[in-house]
Amino acid sequence: MELTFFLQQMINGVALGSLYGLIAIGYTMVYGIIRLINFAHGDVMMMGCYFAYFGILMFSLPWWASFAVAIVLTALLGVLMDKGAYVPVRNAPRISALITAIGVSFLLENLGLVVFGGRPKGFDTPDMFNEVYEVAGLMFPALVLWTPLLTLLILGFILFIIYRTKTGRAMRCISHDMETTKLMGVDVNRIISITFAIGSASAAAGGIMWAMRYPEINPLMGIIPGFKAFVAAVLGGIGNITGAMLGGLLLGIAEILLVSLMPEMAGYRDAVAFGLLILILLFRPTGLMGTKLPD
């Protein structure tokens, strides 16, 4: 009984944590390559959810087609965001880019409010993801199995791009020294656009998984997952993609354990996440798997 309870809570923790991890991967990837904390990442995720929602509802696409279209559209949105907002401040001090990111975040949120309206919408989860499996008294909703799988898949894909392709080599170069990379004849803007496209696409994938597990979408839904993914990224060592996934898992499990072991403290679950962020920044600023930053 006690063991079943604990195991069930671990399953709950992994389910939540892998969602955080999935969203954190794109977050940390963009940071790792261009050293920009893209505060709009959570809002890009929100846009991905709406694209998928409208794909199913308005164009009556089958769910897989709608998800694919949403991911592609979100990737394009990422490129657009880079071209429109970040290219003009590429050579400005880093703080300008950071503030621009906050601006983009507000822009997307309020654009969402105007275009989609403030009333929340229910996300249509395909039946396949609604199933629940029972094994020895433990409940496994299908998404609890799919999300970590997808997270690993995307993690593998991004690691492959970064370490096994030419574009990836250019990305790694940019993360070390953008100026020199430019001198080597690499089209830096194109590489950064690709980075944003991949980061945003993974945000959309994360958003869709999020929306299937918590089927309520609204224009401000990206804020909290965005923050949590940021904490997960820092926890794992910001810039480190594998670390982001582990950070997400850790954060999810920590939150669930707090609520289940100390139910009275449930109101402090966000405080725990952000407390964890402060502790990490104080005692291990490079995170669990991070390396020393160049500056």
Partner 1 sequence: MKTKHVLVAFMVLGLAFAMPTPSFSQAKSDTIKIGVFLPMTGGVAAYGQGSWQGVQVARDMEPTVLGKKVELFLADDKSDKIEAANAVTRLVEKEKVVAIIGSSISGNTMAGAPIAEKAGVPIISPTATNPLVTQGKKYIFRVCFIDPFQGEMAAKYAYETLKKRKAALIIDKAQDYCVGLADFFEKSFTKLGGEIVAKTYCQTGDKDFTAQLSAIKAKNPDVLYMPNYYTEVALAMKQAKDLGLNIPVLSGDGSQDKALIDIGKQNVEGLMLTGHFEKEAASTPLAKKFIPLYEKKFGKVGTFDVMGADAYFVLIDAIKRAGSTDGAKVRAALANTKNFKGISGTMTIGEDGNAIKSLVIVQVRGGDFRYVATVEPAGAKPEPKKPAAKKK
How many residues would you count in the chain? 295
Instruction: Tell me how far apart the alpha carbons of residues 101 and 150 are, in angstroms, rounded to a whole number.
Output: 27
Q: Should residue 132 be labelled a site residue for partner 1 when binding is judged by CB under 8 A?
A: yes
**Residue among 97, 255, 272, 273 that touches partner 1 (CB under 8 A):** 255
Q: Should residue 264 be labelled a site residue for partner 1 when binding is judged by CB under 8 A?
A: yes
Considering beta carbons, is residue 205 or 221 the nearer one to partner 1? 221
**CB-based contacts of 193: which residues, under 8 Å, 6+ apart?**
79, 82, 83
Stretch near partner 1 under the rule CB under 8 A, chosen from 11-19, 85-93, 162-170, 188-196? 11-19
Stretch near partner 1 under the rule CB under 8 A, chosen from 5-13, 95-103, 165-173, 200-208? 5-13
Distance of CA 254 to the CA centre of its chain: 18
- Is 286:293 a contact under the CB 8 Å cutoff? yes
Q: Should residue 160 be labelled a site residue for partner 1 when binding is judged by CB under 8 A?
A: no
Q: Should residue 57 be labelled a site residue for partner 1 when binding is judged by CB under 8 A?
A: no
Q: Should residue 275 be labelled a site residue for partner 1 when binding is judged by CB under 8 A?
A: no
End-to-end CA separation in angstroms for the chain: 52
Smallest separation, CB 229 to partner 1 (Å): 14
DSSP letter string over 16-84?
A: HHHHHHHHHHHHHHHHHHH----TTHHHHHHHHHHHHHHHHHTS---HHHHHHHHHHHHHHHHHHHIII
Helix-then-strand count for the chain, H and E? 11, 4
**Residue among 58, 267, 292, 294 that touches partner 1 (CB under 8 A):** 267
Q: Should residue 16 be labelled a site residue for partner 1 when binding is judged by CB under 8 A?
A: yes
Q: Which spans of this chain sit near partner 1 (rule: CB under 8 A)?
A: 1, 5, 8-9, 12, 15-16, 113, 117-123, 132, 134, 139, 141, 214-216, 218-220, 224, 255-257, 259-260, 263-264, 266-267, 269-270
